[in-house]
Structure 1
Amino acid sequence: MASSLLQTDVALHPILTGRALVTKLESWLEAERERIGLWLPVALAAGIACWFALPSPPYWLGWIMLCCGMALAAQLLMPGGRARAALVGLGLVMAVGCVLIWAKALTLGQPPLERAVFAAFRARVIAVEPQPARGRTRLLLAPESGASGLPERVRINVADTDMPARDQIGPGAVIKVRARLMPPAPAAVPGAYDFAVQAYFSGIGATGRALPPVRVIEPARPNGIAAWRDSLSRHIRARLPGSEGGIAAALATGDRGAISEADEEAMRRSGLSHLLSISGLHVSALIAAVILITYRLLALSPYLALRLHLLLIAAGAGALAGIGYTLFTGAQVPTVRSCIAALLVLGGLALGREAISLRLVAVGALVVLVFWPEAVIGPSFQMSFAAVTVIIALAESGWFRANFQAREEGWPSRAWRHVAAVLVIGLAVEAALIPIALYHFHQAGALGAFANMIAIPLTTFVIMPAEAAALALDSIGLGAPLWWVAGQALGALLALAHGVARSPAAQWALPHFGAVPFAMVILGGLWCILWQTRARLLGLAVLAAGGAMMALASAPDLLITGDGRHMAVRQADGTLALLRGRAGDYVRDMLAQSAGEGDTRPNNGAEDKAFPAIAEASNARCSRDLCSVLMRGEGRDWLIVATHSKVRLPWAALIALCARADIVVSDRRLPAACTPRWLKLDRARLSKTGGVAVYLDSGRRVSVRATGDRHPWVVRPSTPVHRAAYRQAPAP
């Protein structure tokens, strides 16, 4: 009997010590050994994202120590094998990601201006961005050393009526200007666009508006790539007026300033806005065209065809064309990413390796994350790599190859198979991009796959070739017919965009749902795509859970912007009422999108969403200075009080009103004696938290940033040094 007990104990021992689990893990990783490396960029991105998500240096250090501790524990406690190597690598790479973005933030970022000021200063022009559709020009300036206290770079908008002669202001010019400058705008409410982060890593410390006059001290000397780009953009707009010329200029030079807001909005709503920015589609089309033309021309010579590797030469010509196109269009980060990916493909061809694979995507992502780690939180990086990953994973699947791989058949069947393949790929890409669009923009296109089936071939095979040929023939004065072709095709593209945008199914909207559901969807999707064995199906559960959390996210009852000036209150019928009924379109759109209401402005005859002022609501009472709103919840009523004027309020009445209210909102600093029953959201509090979303029934509130946020782009006024410096700034 003792012997049998001993045998039982020996049989249970591997399970109790986890050896059976480790053995199964080892066998699974052995089967997936070719896919383990694909998780390196995912781990690096996770470490970078945690630096953005955690609020301050103690948390960042804690994350680095946790990751290193995980790697050390795996190295010391786990038996040798792939599982130990994978866990060690995972921990170290996630720690490296946090260190990488932290180091870049400390060394290359530009701290923001502390407060809004009026400043007069001399500056050298770095870049000029004409925006004729908005009647202004955007200047990126480097203030000279005499403008003490100013950031190293500022960005200002100058009305076209205040601009000096266009040939005088360009990169290298020196100007004198007065401007109202302010720190780059953070997210006004939870889920809104946070320009402060982008500005910090772009080296922009302040933004503002120029006050006339703008005086030129040293005119620009037109030379270099920037001058050629500007000249080409103006030439294209002269050939094609309106938004057609604006889109044509965007395709050639990256200049989107001449596209009207209505047309740009239609392109966005229809899922075609990616065509307006120089991305993988444009770079790939150019490189492919150069390779094809070079290869065919060289093949005309039997001597060259028999003695040289023509495909390698053509690939080199395509690489040079891609690099030149990237530099000419301004070398923006999305364009550089696309160029790097294309060069990796060409490098794979040159080495005789499989050029299009998930390993290529992983290498491209690693390169981008090492040089631009801040890109990981942006929609551009997420959408581009999500789309490419889904396309390649789908193309590698046995089901796709069985149904859509080229085969010997008649042209009708072959054409139908190509159309079906494009539709399937479009639907797969659209499904992958929807959660990203919902997270960043709170709305996603439902018809984008169908619109892109027409728009992408139209752009790739008609618009871009016609425009390139027209520019070439303009040198001998024969480009007019091709400009007409390009203009008609661009008109058809805009008609498609407006037609799709007009549809009620063009956009789905959801309120801000936070980062946790989004991370679950992304990680669940990656788990399904990157692994090959049946274990990948486990990712479906995580993906479904994250998707359900996104779909079931509740809309906030109150939205308060970070300056306290604007508040949106949800009424009993689900609509929003605004504290300031005359708020501009930008504020209305921002509040509506964060609340899950979609766009507020009409598009092509659609109904405008009218958000009334709180003063018009039946449950509100407003005076010249205050508004009080009684909101009925599931278990109790809530009294919300908000100020909307600068008038000094009677002390006793204000204190008594605060004591009766549950929530008090103000764009001014309220006295300490003002103590509402739940929340006091005045200027002092909002300066620490940013904008706030309030969910009354659950008693929950979500703010733009956590208390104690120490990210370097967060404005923390401390001393009046800058104010004194601005008074000393030289006047023009």
Structure 2
Amino acid sequence: MSRGLAALERFLSQAGFDRAPWLVVAFGSGIAAWFALPSAAHWIALCAGCALVAAAALAPWSGRDRWPYLAAALAVLPLMVAAGCLTVWARSAAVGESALARPISGVFVGRLLDVEPQPALARDRLVMAVREPGTGRALKVRINVPAEGLSSRPALGDLVRFRARLMPPAAPMLPGAYDFARTAWFKGIAASGTALGPLEVIERGDGSRGRLAALRQGLADHIRQGIGGEDRAAGRNGPEVGAGGGAGIAIALVTGDQGGIPEADAEAMRDSGLAHLLSISGLHVSAVVGAVYLLVVRVLALFPWLALRVRLPVVAAGAGALAGLGYTLLSGAEVPTVRSCIGALLVLAALALGREPLSLRMLAMAAWCVLLLWPETLMGPSFQMSFGAVLALVAVSTSAPARRLLAPRDEPVGTRALRHLAMLLLTGVVIDLALMPIGLHHFHRAGVYGALANMLAIPLTTFAVMPLLAGALLLDVVGAGWPLWWLAGRAIDLLTGIAHAFASLPHAVTTLPAAGPLPYVAFVAGALWIGIWSGRVRWLGAPLAAAGAALLALAPHPDILVSGDGRHVGIVTEGGDRVFVLRDGGEGYARDNMMELAGLEREPAALDRWPGARCNRDFCVLAMERGKGTVQVLVSRGRDAVPERALAAACDRADIVISDRWLPRSCHPRWLKVDRTMLGRTGGLAIRVDARRIHTVAAGQGEHGWWRPAEPTPCRRAASLPAQRFPAPQESGGAARGCLRSPAKPV
């Protein structure tokens, strides 16, 4: 052990690495641990354990004089882990708001806090402050208002009366799906719903809250008129609004509002790997800041008297900082934009001080600032993909081979351009490889040709689309911006054409089923090791990252998917090439989630089309061939009460019973009974029949404030109805008996 500690101490003393990134990694690990651990007792134990390790490393008998680098690491890193855990815990306690206990409907009076126009969906999304009926508790709610309910747009701060049905924020529909309840918790939203009629403004606000929002909306309307033409801008909420994708994409690039982008264009941008262009982040902020910086430097350099007496880079950095801050406020100051603004400000500070602008220390400082203010963003794809892309960029650009490739040399201009083009392609490929597992983990799909598409789209957006939009807005001050509006529209058409072209290529999109957190954690750990270390030691993380990526790619598909309310059931074929759904209602949220979590793109089929399935109005019985045996599945599909004795007999012949009702105690399938009682405790399910494994939504929630299991329901007797309602299943081999206690009466 002594020789091992000495070798580790020697390695740390000679590595010459930057310690700041590892401190931020430890801070983020504490945040991730808070989300992963289930209860306050575990969080306290983690913090106490970290404090004990730090105290032991600083103790006189610890040998800190003999191993100073190792002792410093063991003293500081655990404290950063504890600090991350405590930071997100405090953030959760400060902003979290308990959700509604149950759905409610009625007439509400509330103060308008925020407006998100979504013209492409013919609706607006409003955030209101209301009082909970009965308790008088102040609530923040989010409602969708259809276009016909917005005869006059309310302004921020207005007091509004509206009729709506409000629901608690939805938990993930299936394991690995989007967790809106967690997002709503950290936004302080206690309910969401849809307005059931027009809104009525009963008291106008003072207008102080909505000036920036009004400016942003006015700018969006101006862009829509400039690019889409007056015929599109004539009716704010008519069906023609948002009909063209050019205006919607232009508005997204300038104001960050993506509500006007048609779904076809948005899907093409996602599948081609260009979706990051639509959300204002590092590319857009850096383009604005860089353009202002260069413009100020070049203009001021024309005045020799000023150039000899003033440090022009400092003045230009100040102007760029003001431009970045103004752009961030104008675009709504969302977390990704604020994160990008912080990074841009740090780069400007480095330029003003004559330091290296793009470094791991700058990236670590920007990440720490964001995590300190919004620690919950660590778990979202936006934070992970943006910082992952910058980390890959820094790692590639600062590596020895890249420095040799870009080193100045005496050569023709064409050769130099080819070297830079090769570096651009290499960087794009590395960033694409780094981001693909992140996209597959969060969205279960990723574009294959993202590197090539970005090579064309990023220069087009940076050097054509955004300068044309900025120039058109400036020239419109004197009414002369129409030529640039026309050019900007053609450039955006070219951008969407690139997206559609790459998205339509064969095998342009890779889809994979949900794989669980462990493979993803392994990939992230290995990728961080590769990105932060320098020299040969960085490649020690390659096996771990490769193993994590391989496990993500080889994740087995689930056999059965059951939504948290039991109303949506998907059964996947043995080859994993198609899913059969209980309710084939066409496109919708439930259908998309089923296909996404199963990792499939082929259109689903109705459950009664399963080979050999026997269905009637109340139940379906089907046989699943898995491994060496056959599994009989009984799925309820009706809402009528059924004879309990007939139900019990059908359960005895089935291996798995799935229902959105409360099943009686007499229902004893051979292996698993899934009913409303079980789903109330577990949430949605992903079942692997061959391995007898059940993945639940509840397993990843713990005792965090946004997760509340359903309360048990009292037992009731089943009503007796004549007639046999169960198709006769085939007999199959026995399996382990499993039964959950449940009320007696099916609903």
Q: Map 1:189-204 to 2 at 5 A.
A: 189-204=174-189
Q: Map 1:278-357 to 2 at 5 A.
A: 278-357=280-359
- C-alpha deviation, 1:668, in angstroms: 1.9
Match of 1:49 in 2: 32
Please tell me whether the aligned partners of residues 36 and 700 of structure 2 are also in contact (alpha carbons under 8 angstroms).
no
Equivalent-residue separation in structure 2 for 1:622 and 1:584 (angstroms): 23
Match of 1:605 in 2: none
Match of 1:588 in 2: 591
Match of 1:229 in 2: 216
- C-alpha deviation, 1:708, in angstroms: 7.9
Match of 1:521 in 2: 523
Please tell me whether the aligned partners of residues 174 and 219 of structure 1 are also in contact (alpha carbons under 8 angstroms).
yes
**Residue 659 of structure 1 is aligned with which of 652, 663, 667?**
652
Deviation string for 1:176-215 (max 9, x for gaps)?
A: 0111111112211111111111111111111100011321
Do structure 1's residue 709 and structure 2's residue 702 form an aligned pair?
A: yes
Q: Map 1:544-583 to 2 at 5 A.
A: 544-574=546-576, 575-583=578-586
Please tell me whether the aligned partners of residues 113 and 150 of structure 1 are also in contact (alpha carbons under 8 angstroms).
no
Equivalent-residue separation in structure 1 for 2:187 and 2:98 (angstroms): 11
SS of residue in 2 equivalent to 1:155: strand
Please tell me whether the aligned partners of residues 26 and 82 of structure 1 are also in contact (alpha carbons under 8 angstroms).
yes
Equivalent-residue separation in structure 2 for 1:708 and 1:127 (angstroms): 29
Q: Map 1:169-180 to 2 at 5 A.
A: 169-180=154-165
Do structure 1's residue 700 and structure 2's residue 693 form an aligned pair?
A: yes
Do structure 1's residue 165 and structure 2's residue 168 form an aligned pair?
A: no
Identify the structure with bigger relative contact order (alpha carbons < 8 Å, sequence gap 6+). Answer: 1
Do structure 1's residue 615 and structure 2's residue 611 form an aligned pair?
A: no
RMSD value, Cα: 1.8
Equivalent-residue separation in structure 2 for 1:544 and 1:296 (angstroms): 47
Q: Map 1:103-252 to 2 at 5 A.
A: 103-144=90-131, 148=135, 152-166=139-153, 169-219=154-204, 224-241=211-228, 242-252=244-254
Match of 1:102 in 2: 89
Deviation string for 1:41-96 (max 9, x for gaps)?
A: 11111111111112222222232233333333444464211112112222221122
Please tell me whether the aligned partners of residues 101 and 374 of structure 1 are also in contact (alpha carbons under 8 angstroms).
yes
| Amino acid in the other structure paired with 2:592 | D
- C-alpha deviation, 1:544, in angstroms: 2.1
Please tell me whether the aligned partners of residues 191 and 512 of structure 1 are also in contact (alpha carbons under 8 angstroms).
yes
Equivalent-residue separation in structure 2 for 1:708 and 1:43 (angstroms): 22
- C-alpha deviation, 1:257, in angstroms: 1.1
Deviation string for 1:599-637 (max 9, x for gaps)?
A: xxxxxxxxxx33111111123211101112211221322
Equivalent-residue separation in structure 2 for 1:646 and 1:544 (angstroms): 49
Q: Map 1:242-281 to 2 at 5 A.
A: 242-281=244-283
SS of residue in 2 equivalent to 1:701: strand
SS of residue in 2 equivalent to 1:186: coil
- C-alpha deviation, 1:151, in angstroms: 5.3
Equivalent-residue separation in structure 2 for 1:655 and 1:100 (angstroms): 52
Residue identity over aligned pairs, in percent, reads: 46
Equivalent-residue separation in structure 1 for 2:522 and 2:712 (angstroms): 42
Deviation string for 1:491-518 (max 9, x for gaps)?
A: 0001111111111231111111111000
Distance verdict in 2 for CA 1:675–1:684, change over 3 Å? same
Match of 1:9 in 2: none
Deviation string for 1:148-178 (max 9, x for gaps)?
A: 4565211111110121213xx1211111011
Please tell me whether the aligned partners of residues 566 and 659 of structure 2 are also in contact (alpha carbons under 8 angstroms).
yes
Do structure 1's residue 22 and structure 2's residue 22 form an aligned pair?
A: no
| Amino acid in the other structure paired with 1:300 | L
Equivalent-residue separation in structure 2 for 1:674 and 1:86 (angstroms): 58
Please tell me whether the aligned partners of residues 132 and 138 of structure 2 are also in contact (alpha carbons under 8 angstroms).
no
Do structure 1's residue 677 and structure 2's residue 679 form an aligned pair?
A: no
Do structure 1's residue 631 and structure 2's residue 624 form an aligned pair?
A: yes
Equivalent-residue separation in structure 1 for 2:677 and 2:457 (angstroms): 50
- C-alpha deviation, 1:585, in angstroms: 3.0
Please tell me whether the aligned partners of residues 444 and 508 of structure 1 are also in contact (alpha carbons under 8 angstroms).
yes
**Residue 449 of structure 1 is aligned with which of 448, 451, 459?**
451
Please tell me whether the aligned partners of residues 190 and 693 of structure 1 are also in contact (alpha carbons under 8 angstroms).
yes
SS of residue in 1 equivalent to 2:507: helix
Distance verdict in 2 for CA 1:406–1:338, change over 3 Å? farther
Deviation string for 1:554-584 (max 9, x for gaps)?
A: 1010011111111111124532111112253
Do structure 1's residue 35 and structure 2's residue 35 form an aligned pair?
A: no
Distance verdict in 2 for CA 1:184–1:237, change over 3 Å? same
- C-alpha deviation, 1:147, in angstroms: 7.6
Please tell me whether the aligned partners of residues 126 and 171 of structure 1 are also in contact (alpha carbons under 8 angstroms).
yes
Equivalent-residue separation in structure 2 for 1:440 and 1:120 (angstroms): 37
Report the count of equivalent residues: 691
Equivalent-residue separation in structure 2 for 1:715 and 1:20 (angstroms): 51
| Amino acid in the other structure paired with 2:186 | F
Deviation string for 1:94-124 (max 9, x for gaps)?
A: 1221111111111111222222221311011
Deviation string for 1:268-320 (max 9, x for gaps)?
A: 11111111111000000000011111111111111101100111001000001
Deviation string for 1:521-548 (max 9, x for gaps)?
A: 1101111221224333221221122122
Do structure 1's residue 63 and structure 2's residue 46 form an aligned pair?
A: yes
| Amino acid in the other structure paired with 2:163 | R
Equivalent-residue separation in structure 2 for 1:79 and 1:536 (angstroms): 28
Please tell me whether the aligned partners of residues 272 and 452 of structure 1 are also in contact (alpha carbons under 8 angstroms).
yes
Equivalent-residue separation in structure 1 for 2:600 and 2:132 (angstroms): 47
| Amino acid in the other structure paired with 1:659 | D
Equivalent-residue separation in structure 1 for 2:603 and 2:542 (angstroms): 40
- C-alpha deviation, 1:674, in angstroms: 2.2
Please tell me whether the aligned partners of residues 621 and 628 of structure 1 are also in contact (alpha carbons under 8 angstroms).
yes
Equivalent-residue separation in structure 2 for 1:118 and 1:251 (angstroms): 38
Please tell me whether the aligned partners of residues 559 and 574 of structure 2 are also in contact (alpha carbons under 8 angstroms).
no
Equivalent-residue separation in structure 1 for 2:202 and 2:620 (angstroms): 51
Match of 1:6 in 2: none
- C-alpha deviation, 1:684, in angstroms: 1.7
Pick which of 150-159 and 706-715 moved more: 706-715
Equivalent-residue separation in structure 1 for 2:506 and 2:594 (angstroms): 21
Please tell me whether the aligned partners of residues 621 and 633 of structure 2 are also in contact (alpha carbons under 8 angstroms).
yes
Please tell me whether the aligned partners of residues 114 and 716 of structure 1 are also in contact (alpha carbons under 8 angstroms).
no
- C-alpha deviation, 1:144, in angstroms: 4.9
SS of residue in 2 equivalent to 1:624: coil
TM-score (norm 2): 0.90
Deviation string for 1:472-494 (max 9, x for gaps)?
A: 11121111100000000000001
Please tell me whether the aligned partners of residues 681 and 710 of structure 2 are also in contact (alpha carbons under 8 angstroms).
no
Distance verdict in 2 for CA 1:250–1:21, change over 3 Å? same
Equivalent-residue separation in structure 2 for 1:336 and 1:478 (angstroms): 33
Equivalent-residue separation in structure 2 for 1:708 and 1:537 (angstroms): 35
Please tell me whether the aligned partners of residues 163 and 195 of structure 2 are also in contact (alpha carbons under 8 angstroms).
yes
Match of 1:91 in 2: 78
- C-alpha deviation, 1:351, in angstroms: 2.4
Please tell me whether the aligned partners of residues 170 and 220 of structure 1 are also in contact (alpha carbons under 8 angstroms).
yes
SS of residue in 1 equivalent to 2:198: strand
| Amino acid in the other structure paired with 2:79 | L
TM-score (norm 1): 0.91
SS of residue in 1 equivalent to 2:196: strand
| Amino acid in the other structure paired with 2:650 | L
- C-alpha deviation, 1:447, in angstroms: 0.3
Pick which of 681-690 and 318-327 moved more: 681-690
Equivalent-residue separation in structure 1 for 2:704 and 2:550 (angstroms): 31
SS of residue in 1 equivalent to 2:20: helix
